[in-house]
């Protein structure tokens, strides 16, 4: 069995973990909304799906277990050809939807989504259409959602049954508008000029909003250009990345590409703030991330990806990456919430928690407070790098350790939680070097399996967390292919 060492430096705070890194994302795509948030027959009730009001109860209950602080909506690429007015009030307009080439019935729109958010206990995070949409339409949406004035769109909201404003605080200035796959692609120069105008106008209407600039992947000249032009006007810079997983190693190591993207984006933000003399912080909003095999599960077929244990470890590494950069990444949205590359999967009246659900759920529940330094001395990947790892080799560290780590100390300072992902195909015995006295072990929570193991409707609990007692022994054995939380009273 491999022998490794883990060092935890409880006094070195990386940053305070913002729970917004456990945010979610709902897009009008595939079966995310219709079949996910509401029955596929919506607005007609389905005989098979038990509902709370109009919402699927199983999905609602699962989302309540995570309590994502924000949920981004309505896209995604869908945003670029959507008109919010088609989906409010009694007269809903079915439209041909060009991002995913469907007819969107618009029976589920802004108010249904905000009602769902209130039922979950999360905040809506809305994405403005900077593709086919114009500023007038965007301002009307902000007024409809947030204004308490005696004005047309605020009164329209009232006439739809919502007397009080929805108070939507977080708004994206477009989604992936740089992409040649967008309904309306724009250049970085055109986008930056537009983003400045939109940000100014939106803040005239509601100065309390938080605005997210549309960045790219965090390693592109798009990112440096738009930051340089717009930094004074925004609160966050968004980046999107999906890690691929054609092999076990790819699933486990590819999120490290995102880690480099975060570091580079942080530098670009720092430089832009310096050049434009912006004193207040601007943070990273990683508002789409996940493990995704786009060749096997293409968007036009609804991205109904079935996830295995390797993918689960990838998601756990992603979450560790955000924790390791708690000083910079304030928001991260797992794309997406249900059915579409998602940890939750529905079939008729049943809900499946996929393998990837478990790291998302466990991290959101136990990893909070201060993120502190953690380091593993263990064996490293010896290659060869293939696929996404090869394409992005320049963004990978020289060494890729098989143990991936993060650690947090809760707000009261009384609980240390070590989050460790063992990507190795063998058990690893760890010597734990923790620089503070351990009063007691609270519990060990472990999710493990073979790389290709999946949960299915026939075997829903093949991969689930196992809770066990934990002592303060310095030696811990980590199972092969496992995600483990070690919780200590300190």
Residues lying near ligand AHR in the complex (CB under 6 A)? 27, 75-77, 175-176, 288, 335-336
**How far is it, in rounded angstroms, from Cα 252 to Cα 308?**
12
Structure tokens that stand for 132 in this block:
């086919």
Q: Which is nearer to ligand AHR, 76 or 423 (CB)?
A: 76
CB of 183 to ligand AHR, least distance (A): 11
Q: Which is nearer to ligand AHR, 288 or 404 (CB)?
A: 288
Helix (H) or strand (E) holding 5: strand 2-16
Helix (H) or strand (E) holding 59: helix 57-66
Q: Which is nearer to ligand AHR, 77 or 146 (CB)?
A: 77
Contacts of residue 439, Cβ cutoff 8 Å, sequence gap at least 6: 472, 488, 489, 490
Which segments within 38-98 are labelled E, that is strand?
Answer: 51-52, 55-56, 70-73, 95-97
Nearest-CB residue for ligand AHR: 76
Q: What are phi and psi of 400, to 5 degrees?
A: -115, 95
Q: Which is nearer to ligand AHR, 43 or 294 (CB)?
A: 294
CB of 452 to ligand AHR, least distance (A): 24
CB of 27 to ligand AHR, least distance (A): 5
CB of 423 to ligand AHR, least distance (A): 25
- Contact between 81 and 129 under an 8 Å Cβ cutoff? The reply is yes
CB of 277 to ligand AHR, least distance (A): 32
CB of 130 to ligand AHR, least distance (A): 13
Q: Which is nearer to ligand AHR, 258 or 476 (CB)?
A: 258
Percentage helix, strand, coil, to 5, in the chain?
30, 30, 40
- Contact between 445 and 362 under an 8 Å Cβ cutoff? The reply is yes
CB of 340 to ligand AHR, least distance (A): 7
3-class secondary-structure state, position 215: coil
Alpha carbon distances (Å) from 400 to 61, 256, 324, 342, 484: 38, 9, 16, 27, 19
**How far is it, in rounded angstroms, from Cα 92 to Cα 86?**
6
Q: Are strands 70-73 and 55-56 parallel, antiparallel or unpaired?
A: unpaired
| Residue (of 243, 209, 199, 170) closest to 24 by Cα position | 170
List the catalytic residues.
176, 288
Q: Which is nearer to ligand AHR, 32 or 209 (CB)?
A: 32
DSSP states of 160-187: TT--S-----EEES-SSTT-TTSSS---
**How far is it, in rounded angstroms, from Cα 23 to Cα 21?**
6
Q: Which is nearer to ligand AHR, 240 or 424 (CB)?
A: 240
Q: Which is nearer to ligand AHR, 354 or 417 (CB)?
A: 354
3-class secondary-structure state, position 281: coil
**How far is it, in rounded angstroms, from Cα 320 to Cα 168?**
29
CB of 324 to ligand AHR, least distance (A): 24
């Amino acid at each position: 069995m491999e022998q490794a060492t883990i060092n935890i430096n409880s006094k070195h705070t990386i940053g305070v973990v913002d729970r917004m890194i456990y945010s979610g994302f709902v897009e009008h795509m595939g079966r995310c909304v219709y079949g996910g948030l509401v029955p596929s027959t919506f607005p007609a009730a389905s005989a098979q799906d038990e509902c709370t009001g109009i919402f699927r109860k199983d999905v609602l209950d699962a989302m309540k277990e995570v309590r994502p602080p924000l949920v981004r909506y309505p896209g995604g690429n869908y945003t670029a050809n959507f008109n919010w007015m088609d989906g409010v009030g009694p007269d809903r307009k079915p439209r041909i939807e060009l991002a995913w080439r469907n007819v969107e019935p618009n029976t589920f729109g802004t108010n249904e989504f905000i009602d769902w958010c209130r039922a979950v206990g999360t905040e809506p995070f809305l994405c403005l259409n900077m593709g086919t949409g114009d500023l007038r339409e965007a301002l009307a949406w902000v007024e409809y959602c947030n204004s308490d004035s005696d004005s047309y769109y605020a009164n329209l909201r009232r006439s739809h049954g919502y007397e009080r404003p929805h108070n939507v605080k977080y708004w994206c200035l477009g989604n992936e508008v740089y992409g040649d796959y967008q309904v309306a692609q724009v250049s970085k120069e055109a986008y930056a000029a537009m983003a400045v105008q939109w940000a100014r106008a939106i803040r005239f209407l509601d100065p309390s909003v938080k605005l997210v600039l549309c960045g790219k992947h965090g390693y592109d000249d798009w990112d440096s250009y738009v930051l340089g032009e717009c930094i004074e006007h925004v609160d966050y810079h968004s980046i999107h990345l999906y890690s691929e997983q054609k092999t076990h190693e790819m699933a486990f190591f590819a999120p490290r590409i995102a880690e480099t993207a975060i570091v580079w984006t942080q530098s670009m933000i720092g430089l832009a703030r310096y050049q434009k003399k912006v004193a207040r912080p601007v943070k990273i909003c990683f508002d789409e991330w996940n493990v995704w095999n786009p060749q096997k599960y293409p968007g036009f077929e609804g991205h109904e990806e079935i996830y295995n244990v390797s993918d689960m470890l990838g998601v756990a590494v992603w979450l560790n990456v955000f924790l390791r950069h708690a000083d910079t990444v304030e928001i991260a949205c797992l794309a997406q919430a249900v059915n579409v590359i998602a940890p939750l999967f529905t079939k008729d009246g049943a809900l499946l928690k996929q393998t990837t659900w478990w790291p998302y759920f466990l991290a959101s529940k136990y990893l909070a407070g201060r993120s502190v330094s953690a380091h593993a001395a263990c064996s490293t990947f010896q290659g060869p790098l293939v696929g996404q790892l090869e394409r992005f080799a320049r963004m990978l560290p020289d060494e890729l350790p098989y143990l991936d780590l993060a650690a947090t100390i809760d707000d009261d300072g009384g609980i240390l939680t070590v989050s460790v992902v063992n990507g190795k195909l063998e058990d690893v015995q760890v010597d734990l070097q923790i620089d503070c006295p351990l009063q007691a072990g609270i519990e060990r929570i472990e999710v493990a399996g073979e790389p290709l193991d999946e949960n299915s409707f026939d075997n829903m609990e093949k991969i689930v967390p196992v809770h066990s007692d934990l002592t303060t022994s310095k030696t811990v054995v980590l199972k092969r292919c496992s995600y483990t939380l070690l919780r200590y009273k300190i």
